[in-house]
Amino acid sequence: MFRRLFLGLGLAMATALPLAAQTQSITVSSTTSTEQSGLFGHILPIFTQSTDIAVRVVALGTGQALDVGRRGDADVVFVHDKDAEERFVAEGFGGPRRAVMFNDFVIVGPAGDPARVNGLRDSVEALRRIAAARAPFISRGDRSGTHAAELRLWQQAGIDVATGRGAWYREVGQGMGPALNTAAAQNAYILADRGTWLAFRNRQELRIVTEGDERLFNQYGVMLVNPQRHAHVKAEAGQRFIDWLVSPAGQEAIAGYKINGEQLFFPNANRPGA
């Protein structure tokens, strides 16, 4: 009798749970810039309110975020390294890739500017001058989209950063926020995404020294993890998140995120080739 009473009470409690407790949830593996810039804090409540789907974010460098997707430990991957994203799709781990938004990278450096790059638009020439001056440079060194972009720029500059590693070139193996903190503490140069830079408060003597080069363009893409590889992937809810991001409502929410009146990310889901 007591057992029947207990089971009945348990069933009543389960069916009486509030709607919020029954909300679906998905896991999104994403780059640190979407989290540390505050973008997710702005757009995810809007998405959840309109869909009753809660989003848990795992914020890592893009390379690590894609690895999370490969293992099936996320439902959606939202990152910013187009070449790596296309490999992810080609290998059958997810897709299709959808463009979502863009911003740009900037080179940030100390007010004293020992490399004399302030106001220089050419990012590759800026890196050449930093290397020639052996001025301290902080690299994320974490296989992130920002790290990949930085390495491409060094390659274009014809600089082998391995020769400066441990001297003027220092890898921290951390996300954008901690890397910026290290650059501020050491009065060093660093490549940063503009969104995280605008949200960053511990600037000390750092300021933007190089910006506006087309090579600093920073595109973000989103992909559903392949449910045929990982049957537990919440494909329907994950696809609803992707569809919302690229919809007029999602694109408007992204465009509406600003700090001190300055827009951090620019939606371009419908731009061909993005």
pLDDT (tens digit per residue) in 109-138: 999 999 999 999 999 999 999 999 999 999
Statement to judge: residues 112 and 174 lie in one domain: yes
Beta bridge partners of 169: 137, 165
Six-digit token string for 179:
């890397």
Q: How far apart are CA 237 and CA 261, in angstroms?
A: 33
Total domains in the chain come to 2
The verdict on whether omega for the bond into residue 96 sits within 30 degrees of 0, i.e. cis, is yes
Specify the pLDDT at position 14.
34
Give 200's strand partners: none
As a whole number of angstroms, the distance between CA 217 and CA 63 comes to: 18
Q: Which domain holds residue 201?
A: 103-216
Q: Token pair of 10, please?
A: 């348990």
Rounded to a whole number of angstroms, the CA Rg of the chain reads 22
Residue 274: per-residue pLDDT: 65
Domain presence at residue 168: yes
Q: Tell me the CATH number at 176.
A: 3.40.190.10
Domain C-terminal end among 216, 232, 253: 216
Question: Which parts of the chain have pLDDT scores under 70?
Answer: 1-22, 273-274
Q: Does residue 87 sit in the same domain as residue 187?
A: no
Same domain membership, residue 208 and residue 109? yes
* DSSP-assigned beta bridge partners for residue 98: 222
Is 27 within a domain? yes
DSSP state of 173: -
Is 67 found in the same domain as 88? yes
Q: Which of 216, 235, 253 corresponds to the end of one domain?
A: 216
Q: Note whether 115 and 205 are same-domain residues.
A: yes
Task: Check: CB of residue 150 under 8 Å from CB of residue 169.
Answer: no
Is the CB of residue 189 less than 8 Å from the CB of residue 139? no
Out of 196, 216, 236, pick the residue that ends a domain: 216
Q: Which amino acid is it at 209?
A: V
Same domain, 127 and 207: yes
Tell me: do 143 and 198 sit in the same domain.
Answer: yes
Q: Which residues contact 81 (CB under 8 A, 6 or more apart)?
A: 62, 63, 144, 145, 148, 149
User: Mind listing the pLDDT tens digit for each residue in 2-22?
Assistant: 334 333 433 333 333 343 444
Give the side-chain half-sphere CA count within 13 A for 217. Answer: 7
Q: Considering the domain boundaries, does residue 29 fall inside one? A: yes
The reported pLDDT for the residue numbered 23 is: 72
Tokens of 118: 């302030």
At 209 the three-state DSSP class reads strand
CA–CA distances in Å: residue 171 to residues 135, 159, 215? 14, 16, 22
